[in-house]
Structure 1
Amino acid sequence: MNYAFPSGGLPDQSVNADGAAVFTTAYAVLPAVTHRDIVTSFLPTWHSHRAWIFARPMTGFAETFAQYAVEIYPGGGSSDPEPDRDAQAVLFVAKGRARLTLGAEHHELEPGSYVYLPPAAPWELWNIYDEPCGFHWIRKRYVHAQGLTVPEPMITHESRVPVVPMPECGDAWGTQRFLDPLDLAYDFHVNIVTFQPGGRIPFAETHVMEHGLFVLQGTARYLLNQDWVEVGPGDFMWLRAFCPQACIATGTEPFRYLLYKDVNRHPSLGPLT
């Protein structure tokens, strides 16, 4: 399986700046063409790397998560990667390989590897191989709830997670759920959603969850609020709560994206006055 990932670089001087990038009060689209070298960041405690930061908490927009694509060059990585002890994370490897050290155990990650890391987990990540490694990193502060314990770390591969068809959709629309959707200890999910060509979301979803969607493969027409946009491999969509959404998969191959959503907690009512 091939997964889209930013390639960096810079368009030459013959290319016009017109493009499909858009930021609105309800959603944002960051097309793959915008993921260039000059928009990368370098992270403290990380070595020989670069990071595209697609989403961060913004008051009045999407407030629960941050989402990155991180490229680690051979010999690069971090022995102290997470600065926030309350942050949990999902890592999803898109290209290359890396070694994850979780406590005293080493795990070799490859394209398709999926890792859930609870808050305060002792982890390191290093590229000990000869080619760059690219992975998606989604971070969210854990929200504790009465009677629930923090989940344990989990490492798997997408080949071991079945595609579960959505109701009344046959095989046209399915989801790989890496974290148990019935386990309320998880306060967010990161899944892979797949539509076969012509498959669709047959209504305008409108709900409280925030979303980050990174297109791994294929193309689609995607409804965002009142606008239909064309999206393809490497594009990122960022949706605030209650933004209507739907899609129709186009082209001849499956349309697949990595999806973040916050779940299983009461909405915060803010400080009492």
Structure 2
Amino acid sequence: MGFCPTCGDEVAWKSEHGNPSCEACGAPSHRSFNCCWACGESFDEDNAPQEVARGYRLDFACDAGDCAGRLAWLMPFCPWCGEEKHWPHARELKCVECESSLDRSWAFCVRCGEEAPLPDECPRCGLALEHAGSAARCEQCRHIVCGDCCEVQALPSEAGAPQERMVCSECGAGAAPPAHEAAPRSAAPEAEDTGDEEEEDAPSEPDAPPSAGPQSPWDVLGVSPGTPLAEVKRAYLALVAQYHPDKVAALGPKLQALAQEETRRIIEAWETVRRQARPGR
């Protein structure tokens, strides 16, 4: 795994336990390996295959006909015979850059760092994502689902207090917010409406234009048509960060709902621009 499947950053692997590094690519190795597992370079060694190498879990048998070696998950090359490996996935996606197999939960290819392509359909309802009004990546299972199959829910966190996260219908099932958390949210708008309707309606007026704004995905992302995809992606990530649940947790329920809707519009715009740019890549 040369790149993080979540953010796409290159992973800087380090040698452990005093093991050597590959002279060709610098990847960490092991004294008993005959070839580099990262680039396939031969070490001109003739060590017998082992089932365990310190620092590595060698759980998979090499499928080369004359090799009895074992590999760790996602090793690009067998460390014993150097043969290139293509790891299969149950519901396979192909990287558009290097054609490596990708898992549906990955946002980026772990081999070249290229952004993962959009799956054909929503894994929850089966709707073709190209026909979906919006789509989002579940923050729990990391699968991309259509807008109808995801929502912001308050889920338990390690700190103890519920934390709002964008989750799919499957991950959110059975994880409803506690009663003491849900009640104030539904009661608060009624109390504000009956006591001071003008003050409650006032902040909604300037916030209304974004949801009814221009339909062009370029306008939604704040970039001009023809902007390089890398720059569009930076604009997209910056916008999504502004409306992250952690950023709006202290706001009222209506403003939180508005932030959620704006997030969906931004995601939809990005997916549209990305699909349009893909054929020319």
Q: Which structure's residues are more often helix, by fraction? A: 2
TM-score w.r.t. the length of structure 2 is 0.22
Q: Which entry has the higher C-alpha Rg, 1 or 2?
A: 2
Larger strand share, 1 or 2: 1
Where relative contact order (Cα < 8 A, 6+ residues apart) is larger, the structure is 1
